[in-house]
Chains A and B, each alone.
Chain A
Amino acid sequence: MEGTKLAEGVYLTYLPARKFKTSLLSAQFVTPIREETASAFALLPAVLRRGTVSCPDMGALSARLDQLYGASIDYTVRKKGENQCIGFVASFIDDSFVPGGEKLLEPVADLLGELICDPATERGRFVNAYFETEKANLIDAIRSLINDKRDYADSRLLQQICAGEPYGVSRLGDEESAAKVQPHKLYALYAQLISTARLELVYSGSADRERVEQALRAALSTLPREAVRGIAPVTAHPAREAAKTVEETLDVTQGKLGMGFTCASDDTAALLIGNTLFGGSSNGRLFMNVREKLSLCYYASSTYHRHKGLITVSSGIEFENYQRAYDEILSQLAEIQAGRLEDWELQSARSTLLNAYASMGDSQGKLENFYLGQAATGQEETPAELAAQVREVTPERIFAAMKTVSLDTVYFLRGKEAAE
C-alpha cells in the first residue's frame, strides 16, 4: 500500500476506523541517519514542541491542547532502517465523543502544521532559551540510557555490530555531537529538512478521506517544498572473518549477554518465523531452554531486524554463567539450523506471527509505527500481505534461511567486583 501524494514528497496513509475512542494523526520527516546529524535532528522536534507563533510557550500550547479535550501532540524520534524519522504524533478524542459536539480534527491538524511550519523564533533562529534547555535535556536523555541496563546492553551490542555503519548510529545520536549543536546550525538544518525531506502523514480515525486531506492541505499550506530527496536504502552489513567479542564492566548485580548474528538469506518471511522459533516468543527455544530448562535467566530473547538482516539476542544472567548461556544459545540455533524441531513449535511460531499481524489493526499506535516503517524503508506490504507470506513459508525454507545465520559480535556486560 502506497500513501496518497498530497504535495511534492508529502504522502498520506489513510486508515479509516470507527471503533476507536480517539483519532491519530502523525507527521514524520524521513531523513538518512548520519552520525554527524543524528543528535541535531533528535533535538529539532523537542525545540519545535516548545512554542509556535500563535502559542509561543509551553503554557499556551498546553492550554490549547487541554481545551481540545486533552488532545496530545508528542514529538517522536525513531530509527527505521537507516533513516531517522522525526516529527509529531497527535491523538485526540473522536468527534462522536466530544461532549460539546465540536470538531477536533481541523484544530489539531492546524496546531500540528504550526509546530512544523511556524515555530516561535527570535532574530531568525529558535528561541535561545528553548534551544539551550532542550539541548541539555537531550544530553541528559543520551546519558540516561545507561540507567536501564537491558536497553543499554542491547544498544551497545547494535553499536558494536554496526560500528561505522548508519545502522549503528543511535536514534538520539551521541553525547559529543549533541554538545556541539549550535543554534544557527540547527535552524539551517530545520529549514533544509522541511523543504527537502520526505514527509509521511498517517491518519487513523472516523473522518472521511476528503476531510482529512483537506485538513492536512490547509494545515501544511505554507510548507516549503523543493527538490525532495529520496529515502536512504539500507546498506548490507559487511561480513566478518571471525566473530568480534566486546566486554564492558559497570557496577551491576546482573550480567547482560548480547549476541549479534548476520542473516545472509533475503527470505524475510522465513527468517521472521525462524527468529520466532529461536527466541522471538515465550515458546521460542531461548525461553524454553536458557530460562525454563536451565534456569539461567529471567529473560533471553531474540529480535529480527528485518530491514537490516540481523538477529540480536538479549539476556540477563549471573556473571559466572556466561559460558553456559553462550553455549546454550549457540546450540539452540544449531538445532534450528539442522531442522531438529517439533511440529508444534513450527505451528506456534507461525500462529504467533499471524496473531500479531491480525491484531495490528486494533491498535492505532501499532498501525502508525508499522506504516511509517514500511514507508521509510520503501516497502509496500500491508499486515495482511505479510501474513499471507508467513502462511506460505515451508519448513525447508525456514531451515535454509536459518542456515545463513552466523555469529558476528558478542557483547558482555559484567559487574565491577566480578571483573577484579
Chain B
Amino acid sequence: MKPTFYERIGESVHRETLPNGLEICVVPKPEYAKQYAFFATRYGGMDTRFCLGGKWLDTPAGIAHYLEHKMFDTREGNALQQLAQNGAEPNAFTSNAMTGYYFDSTAHFEENLEILLSFVSVPYFTQESVAKEQGIIAQEIRMIEDNPDWQIYTRMMQSLYRTSTARTSIAGTVESISHITAETLYDCHKAFYTPSNMILTVVGNVDPVHIVDLARRILPREGGTAIPRDYGQEGEAVAQKETRLAMEVSSPQFLTGFKCRPVEDGEAYFRMAVLGDMACDILLGDSSPLYLRMYDEGLINTSFGGSFEMMPGVAYLYAGGDCKDARRAAEEICKEAERLGSGGIDEDFYQRVRRASFGGNLRGLNSFENIAVSLTEGYFHGYDPFRFPQVFDSITRDDIAAFLRENVTGERSVLSEIVPKEP
C-alpha cells in the first residue's frame, strides 16, 4: 500500500486498488481511540434508469434508499445487532449519487469490518421481509413530508430541473415504493454493489495492511461491469420560476436556487466545487457585505445561509432561510452577484475569505465521517480532495467574478417558499 503524505494539512492516505476493482483508502490516526469504516457504492437516489445486460430498466423512485434499509438483513438475523454487540455504532445513508454504510467502534475493529463488508456484499431478503419494510419507510417519508426544510428544498430542485433525476426525492413517495419487489432489489444490488463500483475508506486507529487483507478475503473476486445510467437531458432553462406551499410553520421561509453550468469529472470538478463554495462565501457568507446589510435591516436572521452543490450532470447554488420578504431578499442576492461579478469584489475582503475558507476546510478534517465521505466523493468524481490547499492557491478574484457573472443571474434563478397556513 502506497502512503501519500499531505504536508500542508498533516494527513497521510494509504491507497490500493484490489484486482477486483475495489478502491481502498486508509487514513491512520494512531492518537485516536476510534475507528471509522465507510463502505460506499456509486449508486443513489438519482440512479433510477440504467442499462443492465443490454436492456434499459426504469426502477421506482426511492429504490436505492429502500435497498439500503434491506441490506442490514442477514441470514443470521440483522447486521445492526451483530455490530452493536461489539459496541459499534452502525448506520447508513443514501444520497443522490451514493449509498454509504458505516460504523464507528473502539474495540473488535477487524471483526466489525468483516461484518460490514459481508452484509453489504451479500443481499438476503424475501418477498415478505421486503413487504414489511413498506410500513417503516412510509413513516420515514411521512416524517420528512412534514418537515418544511425538506419540502422547500425538494420543491426548489423540482423548479430548477425539468428532466434530471436530481429532482427525484431520494426516499421516493409512499406510492412509488409500493412497486418495489424483492426481485428488483436483487437486480439493483447485482448491478451496483460490485467491487469495481465501490470504495472502502477507513479512518482511525488501524493498520492499513490488515484492512487490505481482510477485504481481499471477504469480497467477491470478480469486479462487475460499468453500468450506463440515464440522468435525463437537462437544458439551461429552469422548469418553473416560483413555487409556494402553505404548511404548519411559524414564519415564512424561502430558498432561491441558481441553475449553474455542470462540469465534467476530474480535477476541474473539484476546482469548480471549491470555487463555488468560495463564491458562496463572498456573495452571502456571514461576513459578506450582503449578509451584514440584510441582517442589520432585519430582513434575514441567523437561519440564513447558502451552499454550492454538484451531482452528476447538475450544479446549483442556493440560499435562503426565514424571511418576511422572500422576493426582495432573492432580488438583493441577484443584484449583489451582478455588482461583485462586474469588478466589485474588494481585494482585502477576498483575501480574508480565502484565509477563512482554508481554516474551515482544515477544521472539517477533525471529523472522520467528513474525511471518509470526501475521499469517497473524490474517488467517484476523479479528484483528490486533500489537495485543497493547492486548489485554493490556484483560484483568483477574477475566477470568482466570472463564476458569479455566469451563474448567479435572474434568468437562472427559481424561488421556493413555505408560508404559514392560515388558521
- Give A contacts to B, CB under 8 Å: 18-22, 57-59, 62-63, 65-71, 91-93, 96-97, 99, 129, 133, 136-137, 140-141, 143-150, 250-254, 281-283, 291-292, 295-299, 316-318, 344, 347-348, 350-352, 354-356, 358-359, 361-364
> CA A281 – CA B356 in complex, angstroms?
37
> CA A97 – CA B389 in complex, angstroms?
12
Contacts of A91 in B (CB 8 A): 363
Contacts of B34 in A (CB 8 A): 358-359, 362
Measured between C-beta atoms, what is the minimum distance from A48 to chain B in Å? 14
> CA A21 – CA B367 in complex, angstroms?
10
- B190 at interface, CB cutoff 8 A: no
**Least CB separation from B253: chain A residue:** A147
Tell me whether A358 and B356 are in contact in the complex, defined as CB-CB below 8 angstroms, given that A97-B10, A140-B250, A253-B145 are known contacts.
no
- B31 at interface, CB cutoff 8 A: yes
Measured between C-beta atoms, what is the minimum distance from A130 to chain B in Å? 9
Q: Is the CB of B33 within 8 A of A70?
A: no
- B147 at interface, CB cutoff 8 A: yes
**Least CB separation from B301: chain A residue:** A137
Q: Is the CB of B84 within 8 A of A282?
A: yes
* 24 A/B residue pairs, CB under 8 Å, sorted by A: A19-B32, A58-B292, A63-B352, A69-B355, A96-B10, A97-B362, A99-B8, A99-B358, A129-B296, A140-B301, A144-B303, A145-B250, A147-B249, A149-B146, A254-B139, A282-B80, A292-B78, A295-B135, A297-B136, A352-B87, A355-B88, A355-B89, A361-B33, A363-B366
- B105 at interface, CB cutoff 8 A: yes
Q: Is the CB of A364 within 8 A of B250?
A: no
Tell me whether A295 and B136 are in contact in the complex, defined as CB-CB below 8 angstroms, given that A21-B366, A66-B287 are known contacts.
yes
**Least CB separation from A296: chain B residue:** B135
Measured between C-beta atoms, what is the minimum distance from B414 to chain A in Å? 22
> CA A147 – CA B321 in complex, angstroms?
13
Q: Is the CB of B356 within 8 A of A65?
A: yes
Measured between C-beta atoms, what is the minimum distance from B247 to chain A in Å? 8
- B51 at interface, CB cutoff 8 A: no
Tell me whether A358 and B295 are in contact in the complex, defined as CB-CB below 8 angstroms, given that A251-B248, A252-B146 are known contacts.
no
> CA A394 – CA B297 in complex, angstroms?
60
Tell me whether A70 and B32 are in contact in the complex, defined as CB-CB below 8 angstroms, given that A251-B248, A253-B146 are known contacts.
no
**Least CB separation from A59: chain B residue:** B292
> CA A96 – CA B11 in complex, angstroms?
13
B123-147, CB under 8 A of A: which get 1 and which 0? 0000000001111110110110111
> CA A93 – CA B10 in complex, angstroms?
12
**Least CB separation from B293: chain A residue:** A59
Tell me whether A136 and B298 are in contact in the complex, defined as CB-CB below 8 angstroms, given that A19-B29, A146-B250, A283-B80 are known contacts.
yes
Tell me whether A351 and B84 are in contact in the complex, defined as CB-CB below 8 angstroms, given that A147-B148, A299-B143 are known contacts.
yes
Measured between C-beta atoms, what is the minimum distance from A332 to chain B in Å? 16
> CA A364 – CA B32 in complex, angstroms?
12
Q: Is the CB of A93 within 8 A of B251?
A: no
> CA A68 – CA B362 in complex, angstroms?
13
Q: Is the CB of B248 within 8 A of A146?
A: yes
Tell me whether A67 and B366 are in contact in the complex, defined as CB-CB below 8 angstroms, given that A298-B143, A358-B106 are known contacts.
no
Interface positions, chain B 331-369, Cβ under 8 Å from A, are 352-353, 355-360, 362-363, 365-366, 368
- B421 at interface, CB cutoff 8 A: yes
- B85 at interface, CB cutoff 8 A: yes
Tell me whether A21 and B363 are in contact in the complex, defined as CB-CB below 8 angstroms, given that A63-B352, A316-B143 are known contacts.
yes
Q: Is the CB of B135 within 8 A of A70?
A: no
Q: Is the CB of B139 within 8 A of A298?
A: yes
- B81 at interface, CB cutoff 8 A: yes
Q: Is the CB of A298 within 8 A of B136?
A: yes
Q: Is the CB of A97 within 8 A of B9?
A: yes
B309-339, CB under 8 A of A: which get 1 and which 0? 0000000000000100000000000000000
Q: In the complex, how many residue pairs between chain A and chain B have their CB atoms under 8 Å apart?
A: 184
Interface positions, chain B 39-79, Cβ under 8 Å from A, are 78
**Least CB separation from A416: chain B residue:** B248
- B104 at interface, CB cutoff 8 A: yes
> CA A63 – CA B287 in complex, angstroms?
7
Q: Which of B91, B104, B149, B352 lies at the interface centre, i.e. has the most chain A CB atoms within 10 A of its CB?
A: B352
**Least CB separation from A346: chain B residue:** B85
Contacts of A70 in B (CB 8 A): 355-360, 363
Q: Is the CB of A20 within 8 A of B84?
A: no
Contacts of B358 in A (CB 8 A): 69-70, 99
Measured between C-beta atoms, what is the minimum distance from B294 to chain A in Å? 11
Classify chain B: how many residues form its interface, as a range.
Answer: 35 or more
Q: Is the CB of B298 within 8 A of A359?
A: no
Measured between C-beta atoms, what is the minimum distance from B284 to chain A in Å? 13
Residue of A69, A149, A251, A355 touching B107 (CB-CB under 8 A): A355
Q: Is the CB of A297 within 8 A of B139?
A: yes
Contacts of A252 in B (CB 8 A): 146, 248
Q: Is the CB of A66 within 8 A of B32?
A: no
- B233 at interface, CB cutoff 8 A: no
Residue of A22, A96, A251 touching B421 (CB-CB under 8 A): A251
Q: Is the CB of A298 within 8 A of B137?
A: yes
Measured between C-beta atoms, what is the minimum distance from A128 to chain B in Å? 13
Q: Is the CB of A18 within 8 A of B322?
A: no
> CA A123 – CA B322 in complex, angstroms?
32
Q: Is the CB of A316 within 8 A of B366?
A: no
Contacts of A62 in B (CB 8 A): 286-287, 292
- B302 at interface, CB cutoff 8 A: yes
- B17 at interface, CB cutoff 8 A: no
Residue of A68, A99, A133, A137 touching B296 (CB-CB under 8 A): A133
> CA A136 – CA B421 in complex, angstroms?
21
Apart from the given pairs A58-B295, A149-B143, A295-B133, 8 other A-B contacts in the complex at a CB distance below 8 Å: A19-B31, A22-B363, A69-B355, A148-B147, A250-B248, A251-B421, A344-B81, A347-B85
- B4 at interface, CB cutoff 8 A: no
Q: Is the CB of B359 within 8 A of A316?
A: no
> CA A348 – CA B112 in complex, angstroms?
13
4 tightest A-B CB contacts, nearest first: A351-B87, A70-B359, A62-B287, A295-B135
- B178 at interface, CB cutoff 8 A: no
**Least CB separation from B302: chain A residue:** A137
Measured between C-beta atoms, what is the minimum distance from B44 to chain A in Å? 19
**Least CB separation from B361: chain A residue:** A70
**Least CB separation from A136: chain B residue:** B298
Contacts of B10 in A (CB 8 A): 21, 96-97
Interface positions, chain B 359-387, Cβ under 8 Å from A, are 359-360, 362-363, 365-366, 368
> CA A63 – CA B104 in complex, angstroms?
38
Q: Is the CB of B32 within 8 A of A295?
A: no
> CA A347 – CA B88 in complex, angstroms?
12
- B225 at interface, CB cutoff 8 A: no
- B86 at interface, CB cutoff 8 A: yes
Measured between C-beta atoms, what is the minimum distance from B290 to chain A in Å? 11
Contacts of B145 in A (CB 8 A): 253-254
Contacts of A364 in B (CB 8 A): 366
> CA A58 – CA B295 in complex, angstroms?
9
Measured between C-beta atoms, what is the minimum distance from B298 to chain A in Å? 6
> CA A254 – CA B144 in complex, angstroms?
9
B205-225, CB under 8 A of A: which get 1 and which 0? 000000000000000000000
Measured between C-beta atoms, what is the minimum distance from B422 to chain A in Å? 11
Q: Is the CB of B143 within 8 A of A359?
A: no
Q: Is the CB of A21 within 8 A of B365?
A: yes
Residue of B8, B32, B148 touching A362 (CB-CB under 8 A): B32
Tell me whether A66 and B136 are in contact in the complex, defined as CB-CB below 8 angstroms, given that A93-B363, A251-B421, A299-B143 are known contacts.
no
